[in-house]
Amino acid sequence: MDGELYLDAAATEPVSEQVVQAMMPFLTEAYANPASVHQPGRTAARALDAARHSFAADLGARADDVIFTSGGTEADNLAVKGIALARMATIRRQAANTSTDANAVTPRIIISAIEHPAVAQSADWMAKYFGFEVVRIPVDEQARVDLNALESRLAEADLPDDPDAGAWHSGTDHHGNRPVNRTALVSIMLANNEVGTIQPVAEIARIAHAHGVPLHVDAVQAAGQIPIRMHDWDLDALSVSGHKFGTPKGLGALLVRGRTPIEPVLSGGGQERGLRSGTQNVAGAVALAIGLHESVARIAAQHDRLVVSRNELIHAIEQAVPQAKLTGDPNHRLPGHASFIFPGVTGEALLVDLDARGIACSSGSACAIGRHEIPPTLLAMGVPEPIAKSALRLTFRRPLTPDEIRFTAAAIRDSCRSLGLQTA
């Protein structure tokens, strides 16, 4: 194999040539501030508007839903903190009007046990500074969220009907027919970063809405890899990050429906519907639109081939190292995502050894030399700590060639052997 085989696309992707070309004019001659009233400003504003329309369409959403941000982390923070803050006062008032139970006035945020830290720590921050209760819904051994647990944790937080309460959801009447719930929001990811499992978010939206609660979905790992239909699935807010689909790092968006209550977390000039102040990055917005559009076109062209090559890779690794065990849902998983545990070795040692053999991959969680965390999703799936430490994640955006598959499986076998594991 010539050069390093890059199997860490879930961490980040290279910027595509088309994206670079599309950005150039807005970094050079068309540099004006899109808020300026003069002609160059209007040119920049038109480009921003066109990018917003294209980007929204590729996610099954409307242009007015799009709030451009500095990436997935900011989008998740805005969603969790912004929606929780907007719903907090309403929940406290309604609870005080309708219930004598002091507990009822504690607002709640429901997340899954496998959310990215950008969601999980935002929820914990709301607990620390605003007294929210954070409920984590468990997952099974394939990282599928327990929908019965979600339903019952929502049901127990229903408050008595308040005839004066206005419901946030456009599908309800405004006379208390929908129960008021002390849950401010549910936040569950579309696809998991460590093990690639895809959650049934349309079903989760139905469950949350039946209790009058909005749903935020972190789609950072999924956008550009699988089709997303935000409105058809009835999602209220959706986070995406550009560097996972070919834009420079530090670009992303929160899509948030007009009906969803949300407060800004940044104060300033009122750009992006007042929800994300700061002069917009026009070249960045163009990059997001082009990068996503290219990736969505690629899904249509190569999805089946990608799945076949992923399954061949999984099979080849299982043949080469009998101790290897696939993690996550074998069927409902991202097409270019293969993740394993290798009981008997540590993922960190494996990563370093594979790097020396010309394969760049990761353990599936924040990982740097000297800062190797135990993958939290695997722990939530019930994998014992010493085995969770043996995790390895291989992620790619294009079908692998038979040579690449053979090379990878052989390199993993040789690495495992050199680390003391008996292999095939």
With CB under 6 A as the rule, give the number of residues binding ligand PLP: 13
> Which part of the chain contacts ligand PLP (CB under 6 A), choosing from 72-80, 95-103, 139-147, 319-327?
72-80
β-bridge mates for residue 158, sequence order: 181
Q: Is there binding between residue 362 and ligand PLP (CB under 6 A)?
A: no
The first and second tokens of residue 372, run together, are 């190797």
CA distances from 348 to 81, 272, 361, 390 (A): 34, 42, 11, 8
8 binds ligand PLP (CB under 6 A): no
Kindly tell me which residue out of 186, 220, 228, 266 binds ligand PLP, with binding defined by CB under 6 A.
Answer: 220
The one-letter amino acid code at 84 reads A
Q: Is the alpha carbon torsion for 229, 231, 237, 241 positive or negative? A: positive
Toward ligand PLP, which CB reaches closer, 76 or 272? 76
Alpha-carbon torsion (284, 290, 296, 301), positive or negative:
negative
236 binds ligand PLP (CB under 6 A): no
Residues 367, 351 contacting (CB under 8 angstroms): yes
Q: Which of 221, 247, 390, 415 binds ligand PLP (CB under 6 A)?
A: 221
Residue 225 to residue 102: CA distance in whole angstroms = 45
CA dihedral sign of residues 262, 267, 270, 276 = negative
What distance in Å separates the CA atoms of residue 304 and residue 335, rounded to the nearest whole number?
A: 8
Check if the beta carbon of residue 83 is closer than 8 Å to that of residue 184. Answer: yes
**What sections of 160-261 are H helices per DSSP?**
201-210
In angstroms, what CA-CA distances link 321 with 141, 313, 353? Answer: 21, 12, 16
- Specify the residue, 112 or 183, whose C-beta has the smaller distance to ligand PLP: 112
- Which of positions 262-301 make contact with ligand PLP (CB under 6 A)? none
Q: Report if residue 72 touches ligand PLP, rule: CB under 6 A.
A: yes
Among 58, 65, 76, 353, binds ligand PLP (CB under 6 A): 76
Segment interacting with ligand PLP, rule: CB under 6 A, options 95-103, 104-112, 215-223, 287-295:
215-223
State yes or no: residue 390 binds ligand PLP (CB under 6 A). Answer: no
- Give least dist CB 115 to ligand PLP, A: 8
Which of the stretches 69-77, 138-146, 228-236, 332-340 binds ligand PLP when contact is defined by CB under 6 A?
Answer: 69-77
83's tokens: 């929606």
Amino acid at 108: R
Asked whether position 375 contacts ligand PLP by CB under 6 A, the answer is no
The length of the chain, given as a count of residues? 424
Rank residues 114 and 316 by Cβ distance to ligand PLP and give the closer one: 114
Under the criterion CB under 6 A, does residue 193 sit at the interface with ligand PLP?
Answer: yes
- Clarify whether 361 is annotated catalytic: no
Stretch in the footprint of ligand PLP (CB under 6 A) among 133-141, 218-226, 283-291, 341-349: 218-226
- Structure-token match 């992303």, residue found: 252
Catalytic residue among 32, 367, 374, 419: 367
| Alpha-carbon span 338 to 196, nearest angstrom | 8
Per rule CB under 6 A, is residue 118 in the interface with ligand PLP? yes
Residues in contact with ligand PLP by the rule CB under 6 A: 71-73, 76, 116, 118, 189, 193, 218, 220-221, 241, 252
Active site members? 367
